[in-house]
Structure 1
Amino acid sequence: MTVKFNQLFFLSLLFFISCSPPVVYSSKATPPSRTNSLPIQKNAHWLNKWKALAKGKPTVFRIVQLGDSHTAGDFFTNTIRHRLQKRFGNAGIGWVYPAKVNGQRQAKMSYRNDHWQTFTSRRQERRDFPLGGIIAANDGAGKVTLASRNSTNNRQKITLMFKAMVVGSPLTIVDGSGYKNTIEPDDRLNRGQWQYQTITAQLPFSYHCAEDDRWQLGYLNIENQRPGVTVSAFGINGAQLKEVLKWRRSWPQDLSRTQADLVILSYGTNEAFDDRLDADKTRRLWRDTIRRIKRALPQAGILIVGAPESLVNQDGDCGVRPPALDTIQAIQRDIANAEGILYWSWEKAMGGRCSMKKQIRLDLARRDGVHFSAAGYETAANQLADYLIALSGATNRHNPSKSQQVKGYFSPRLP
């Protein structure tokens, strides 16, 4: 069973966006301590960089999250983005969709598509998808306009991931000040090969091409050339981790181009509803994917977000859990321990087993027993942000609202 994120959910949540430290596991095969944390590798490059930023070193720390609808809604990731940028500095928007994706949301960007379509790897398996599994392709001489939801007057450093299929003229980019940039394929590379080009431009900006040309764009990155944090959400509704098998074989090269310092894997909900889930195959896929990430970004940290509790229905005191939820959660924990990476239990952040019905009663989760309200995503994300801030050694300045200081959801203790 594949869980679909109701498009109406996003529309309804656009009108309101509304916090507490969870259980975190990391490092190799060490049993959980009573403080809900395990020791991490103290000399890890990414962690040293994280601590240096907290002490004021002018650097950019980039976080990339790959996931399902919990990521595609960008409520969870936007809360982390807001908390970390407020604490350590705002280095920019990060990687975003190249154009509007139906049923999905980008918290920091708005789009206007004209004769450009978006495709996802979940729906179109035969396309050559780069990292993230989303591309925009033109159909005629249309254009796409991207605008920031927040005012940004300074020029941005923008990196485009593109593929020139049939082109006779450049892709033209016009920014908010009227300045023009052109994107031209590298003739030294094969036509139809994914390429990257970086420009500077002011938001908003539009890109357009000639009517007979055929271009494809993947995610694009927007940074403001200041120190701080970026948090990028690469999510697809209904995705499982096996979505990576539909991307081009060299997607780890795309990941390397992000220069991510911390990669977060947030899958598991759709695996939980798969009553034919092959545990051994799934375990191998998680192990192999994490090892590919390590090879692509040998100095980066990796964190697995354990699948939150979800329900098939609300029968009984606790509701009925999906058939493979326990299995995927165990796989995620075991792989994190075996590979020496971080693990954060979303279910324990919710309050443990039998917590989804309570979340629904508190309006922190939707009645489908799968997705959360804006407040619910923010409550969970604030807990993860608390943990990441604690790892940096910085003082945590976050104070949750009274409505979020609910037993089982907030604890003042940090690992």
Structure 2
Amino acid sequence: MNKILASFYAFLGIFAALLLAACAQKIITENKSSDEMLAKKELKRLNISQNGRGVKFFGDSHVASGAMVAAFRDEYFAASVGSAGFVPAAVSKYHAHSELSFESRGFEILNSRRDKYDDYALCGVVAKADENATMSLKLKKLKGLFGVEILHKFSQSGEIFTLKDANAKEYKITQKSPDIWEYSTFALSFPLEIKALKNGAELGGYKIYQKGDFVDFCAANGAYSSISTKWSDEAWSRDFAGFDYELFILAYGTNDALDKDFSESGFYNSMKSLITKLKSTSKNAKLVLVAPPPSPKIKKMPLVISALKRLARDENAIFVDTRAFVESSGGWKGWRKNKLVSRDNLHLSHDGYKKIGAFIAKSVKNEMKN
């Protein structure tokens, strides 16, 4: 009899534990749903949405400086920019973002260029937190109230980050399902501070929108044209969702050409694979292929340009030849003399990238008119 009672009480204990877990999960889901519903209602009331025209850059260190993208944005959209689009979880060393500045403490920044990780979000950057780690995000130019969707993941359900905005409003970022990237939506004013509650909680990126057009970018120092193959398949639908891109600008080739095993056909096929993925996300977006700056250190650059020209013809894309632009405006030596080239004789200076960014925008606008 004692054994039967003991088994019965053990069963009741297990049942109660399961019931409590289910109730906790229900509370988590309901609280998250309630917070998101309020945020979405507020955004709708203020007519804040993702409806602006978007341009997305993909590229290597030339793009990752941020200066080229900022100059393109100012020339192409002028004063109509009102959103930041999709922003990676953080910026890595030697990177800069055209719209945001980041300050982090206690986060390990994983980059798909060099770090192994099985489930990279779009752009291939993950910020993995130690307990009490903090991430601060500050907009450089844009102001006001924004829709902010924060991509996060953790191994267990529950509250994983706290979030505080410029108005000192505090929120909880809650993981609904374990081990799955999820977005939580908020109506926020910048700057933001995100603080980790759990060791190992991860950030994958942010969708930041208000009203108007935007330019965002995925770039990494040392990136090859094949880097996007390291991002998860889900990222191409999940992290593009909601945005309307009219242009995809692809600026790869420098690191590919510096590889001892470089081949023109291999580069062509790698770029074509990326284009195929992009077409699955935004069928009406126009493609722009940009030749890298013509450093004399890149002996195989003519092969890169040949592949890009052929790909532009095959994909009905716009080809922008930065080599011709540099040669017609003083040549590489002239650019170096005018401090438009960096000391490594491979990259451009901040001002050099600004000239290239504005040139790309003008070239694209001219082509779109024709």
Aligned to 2:5: none
**SS, match of residue 222 in structure 2:** coil
In 2, Cα distance between the equivalents of 1:77 and 1:375?
12
The structure, 1 or 2, with the larger RCO (C-alpha pairs under 8 Å, 6+ apart) is: 1
Which residue of 299, 321, 325 maps to 1:323?
A: 299
One-letter code aligned to 1:279: E
In 2, Cα distance between the equivalents of 1:333 and 1:255?
29
Flag the 1:376–1:354 CA change in 2: closer, same or farther, 3 A: closer
Q: 1:192-213: CA deviations, max 9, x gaps?
A: 2222232210000111221x44
**SS, match of residue 91 in structure 1:** coil
Correspondence 1:357 to 2:348: no
**SS, match of residue 112 in structure 1:** strand
Give the deviation of 1:186 after TM superposition.
3.5
Aligned to 1:33: none
One-letter code aligned to 2:274: T
Q: 1:109-152: CA deviations, max 9, x gaps?
A: 22221211211111103342121111111011221111123362
Identity across matched positions, percent: 20
In 2, Cα distance between the equivalents of 1:255 and 1:369?
36
Correspondence 1:240 to 2:230: no
Would you say the 8 A contact 1:169–1:213 is kept in 2?
Answer: no
Aligned to 1:149: 140
Flag the 1:166–1:101 CA change in 2: closer, same or farther, 3 A: farther
Give the deviation of 1:392 after TM superposition.
6.0
**SS, match of residue 176 in structure 1:** coil
Q: 1:155-204: CA deviations, max 9, x gaps?
A: 111122222234542422110101123322343xxx22222232210000
Flag the 1:121–1:184 CA change in 2: closer, same or farther, 3 A: same
* TM-score, with length taken from structure 2: 0.80
Q: 1:199-243: CA deviations, max 9, x gaps?
A: 210000111221x4422112212222x23x201121100101111
Aligned to 1:249: 233
In 2, Cα distance between the equivalents of 1:287 and 1:255?
21
Would you say the 8 A contact 1:167–1:215 is kept in 2?
Answer: no
Which residue of 177, 185, 189 maps to 1:202?
A: 189
* TM-score, with length taken from structure 1: 0.72
Q: 1:28-69: CA deviations, max 9, x gaps?
A: xxxxxxxxxxxxxxxxxxxxxxxxxxxxxx961111101100
Q: 1:330-360: CA deviations, max 9, x gaps?
A: 1111111101122111111212699322211
Flag the 1:129–1:99 CA change in 2: closer, same or farther, 3 A: same
When the two chains are superposed, the root-mean-square deviation of aligned CA atoms in Å is 2.3
One-letter code aligned to 1:265: L
Would you say the 8 A contact 1:63–1:230 is kept in 2?
Answer: yes
**SS, match of residue 351 in structure 1:** helix
In 1, Cα distance between the equivalents of 2:146 and 2:122?
22
**SS, match of residue 241 in structure 1:** coil
In the alignment, structure 1 segments of 5+ residues that lack a partner are 1-57, 313-321, 394-414
Flag the 1:324–1:251 CA change in 2: closer, same or farther, 3 A: farther
Flag the 1:390–1:330 CA change in 2: closer, same or farther, 3 A: closer
Flag the 1:111–1:289 CA change in 2: closer, same or farther, 3 A: closer
State the structure with more CA Rg: 2
One-letter code aligned to 1:263: F
One-letter code aligned to 1:215: A
Aligned residues: 320
Correspondence 1:299 to 2:289: no
Aligned to 2:54: 62
One-letter code aligned to 1:256: F
